[in-house]
Amino acid sequence: MTAGATVSSMTIAAGALTAEPALVGKRVRFTGNVTAALANQCRMIWMNTGTVVTPGTDFSVAPANGDTFTSKVQPYVSERCSPPW
């Protein structure tokens, strides 16, 4: 994650993502390694580019520089994200 992320969009610091539509409907879950309030927050990917992910629902706080998340390849419906939404 890079500086400038908001509760409604995240800019990827390293690597590149597959552009739409491959990731749309998948999910991301934060580890909470930098911003503890993000730990285990999970959201569906609403849209993305090679470097920016937009979740379907805002996160409770903006990710900080260095925050990490995992992206699951299974569709969002196969393993639901746990609240809080």
pLDDT in tens, 22-78: 888 888 899 999 999 999 999 889 999 988 889 998 999 988 888 998 887 655 454
Cα dist from 51 to 13, 37, 55, 58, 66, whole Å: 8, 23, 13, 18, 15
Question: Is 33 inside a domain boundary?
Answer: yes
- Residue 38 CA to residue 34 CA, distance in Å, equals 9
Question: Is 32 inside a domain boundary?
Answer: yes
In terms of residue numbers, what domain contains 43?
10-74
Question: Is 17 inside a domain boundary?
Answer: yes
Question: Is 84 inside a domain boundary?
Answer: no
pTM above 0.85, yes or no: no
Question: Is 82 inside a domain boundary?
Answer: no
Please count the structural domains in the chain: 1
Question: Is 69 inside a domain boundary?
Answer: yes
- 52, 45 Cβ separation under 8 angstroms: no
The 10s digit of each residue's pLDDT in 23-39 is 888 888 999 999 999 99
